[in-house]
Amino acid sequence: MALVDRCGVALTGDCSTLVDRLQAAHDELLHYRGDPVGMVDEILAERPDFVMGWVFKAAVLTQAMETRIYDDMVHALQRAEALWDKANERERGHILAIRKWVDGDFYGAVEQWDAVLVDHPRDLLALQLAHLSDVLLGDTLNQRDRVARVLHAWDESAPGYNFVLGFHSFGLEECGDYARAEEAGRRAVAMDPQDSYAIHAVAHVLEMMGRQGGGVWWLGSRTADWAHSNFANHLWWHKSLYHLDLCQYDAVFEIFDNHLQSDAKSGDKYEELDAAALLWRLNLYGVDVQGRWDRLADKWEHAAEDTLYAFNDVHAMMTFVSDNRLDLAQRVLDANERYVRSEDEANVAMTREVGLPFCHAIAAFAAKDYEKAVDLLHPIRHRTAKLGGSHAQRDVIHLTLIEAALRCGRYKLARALVSERTELKPTSPQNWLMQARALRGAGDAARAEAAQAQAVALQTLRLAEQAVA
Ligand SMILES: [Fe+2]
């Protein structure tokens, strides 16, 4: 029997309640709320023959990129594969995609989901997974264009259209089309104020444009809409970036202490990533984080040899070297060195070309071998997208390179690199402070004074704006 969901997509099943319950779980997933996998587990406990239930569970777990969930993902996939004969052609497309993912062929998996979307452009699960995978894999153009290829099938009459707009907004932002990205994201949020992903896409626009005051207001004025979502820690991290750019360290620590270090010994990977990225940035800016690495290092300890995703490994590395757990840092390096000699295509390339050089650079930086850190990072700075994540997340690589250049006295290189940053984001006090250091080091005292004054003026201006707001 064929069932049809609210977007007109066919599912295999014999009871419309299955569609409603799966839709409810998917709604939670799209909103980054609740426990979508738990909801589907309940359905599957009653109806183990529900193909899309197993597909949904396995597909969602692909995005976790953690060894500890690997067995659950594989089990769900195997249960879906066992139902192959019952599955329709679209469901088989999902099963093939997840199989490719489990086998390490991440790009092949995304192409398979793309094939599903060619025939079923209203398949919101396929679109969501392909889009989030594009983010994980750093496929910037397809973060925009894969969504664009299904827009012909969507308009405001289609339930869930706001989520499509949110995905598109993020892709437009990563491709530098900030005006259209902001328009699409704000439109999505107007349609559904609790669309955390669209809120996040606009937050990225504001980050990239250096509109820190606007960013603090954008997230702060709608905190109630996202603060209880599963995306909250990442949005808190984004808010902390605005404050960090403005040198407002008390506000940064307030966010870190209250929102980026949950009590669980090992919990949300995204919280752990953001926490590491934030503390590392504070280190780069010379701010004392006062023992905050210790608790975070406990959480990362189990992942020292994961090598499932290079993006995770570089954050593990930041944490271990910063907490002086050099044995664990060495295990990350050794595991990655072994890993890049294996044949797991997608993540091996990420690790070899960006992840491992960055891990070595982090180790060198921590050992105060700043020359080595520069030599490792400078050649890879133009291909960092391969690490996955967003421009905002990968900016930590560029910041590490610049700080290393400053600390080893390569002031002319630092001056050039920071000149690029101030051109792209002239409203950033941190950029002007770095430029002042680079210019001073290069012997240009007058321009250094001007850059320092610019930083102070921008801080003063933002403080005044915040006081008015
Ligand atoms: Fe983000």
Q: Give all domains of the chain, ordered by start, each with its CATH number.
A: 1-142 (1.25.40), 411-468 (1.25.40)
d(CA 93, CA 327): 44
| pLDDT value of residue 1 | 65
Q: What does the angle CA 183 – CA 185 – CA 187 come to, to the nearest 5 degrees? A: 70
Closest CA to 276 of 234, 226, 331: 234
Q: From CA 106, how far away is CA 134, in angstroms rounded? A: 10
Please tell me the predicted confidence (pLDDT) of residue 344.
62
Q: What is the pLDDT of residue 407?
A: 97
Please give the pLDDT value at position 469.
Answer: 64
Distance 393 CA to ligand 1 centre (A): 7
Residue 351 alpha carbon to ligand 1 centre in Å: 21
Quote the ligand 1 centre to 204 CA distance (angstroms). 6
Rounded distance between C-alpha atoms, residue 11 and residue 26, angstroms? 14
Name the stretches of the chain with pLDDT < 50.
265-266
Q: Which two tokens stand for residue 465?
A: 């704006």
**How far is Cα 260 from Cα 317, in angstroms, rounded to an integer?**
18
In the chain, % helix, strand, coil (3-state, to 5) comes to 75, 0, 25
Kindly state the tokens that stand for 89.
């052609």
- Which of 10, 30, 246, 275 is CA-nearest to residue 128? 30
CB contact set of 6 (below 8 Å; sequence gap of 6+)? 23, 159, 160
**Which residues, including other chains, have CB under 8 Å from residue 128's CB and lie 6 or more apart?**
29, 30, 163, 167
Given this model, what pLDDT does residue 43 score? 97
For residue range 322-377, list pLDDT tens digits in order: 999 999 999 999 888 888 877 666 678 788 889 999 999 999 999 999 999 999 99
pLDDT in the model for residue 264: 58
Distance CA 69, CA 71 (A): 6
Contact call for residues 105 and 346 (beta carbons, < 8 A): yes
Q: pLDDT at position 345, please?
A: 65
Question: Quick one: which H or E segment has residue 428?
Answer: none
* pLDDT value for 70: 86
Taking Cα atoms as reference points, which of 298, 254, 299, 302 lies closest to residue 278?
254
State in Å: Cα 310 to ligand 1 middle.
17
Beta-bridged to residue 11, according to DSSP, are: 3
C-alpha 49 – ligand 1 centre gap (Å) = 37
Residue 3 three-state SS: strand
Taking a 5 Å cut-off on Cβ, the residues next to ion ligand 1 are: 390
Q: What's the pLDDT tens digit per position in 280-304?
A: 999 999 999 998 999 899 988 877 7
CA 456 to ligand 1 center in whole angstroms: 27
Residue 296 CA to ligand 1 center (angstroms) comes to 20
The pTM (predicted TM-score) of the whole model is 0.90
Neighbours of 386 (CB within 10 A): 19
| CA 236 to ligand 1 centroid distance, Å | 10
Strand partners of residue 175: none
* DSSP state at residue 154: -
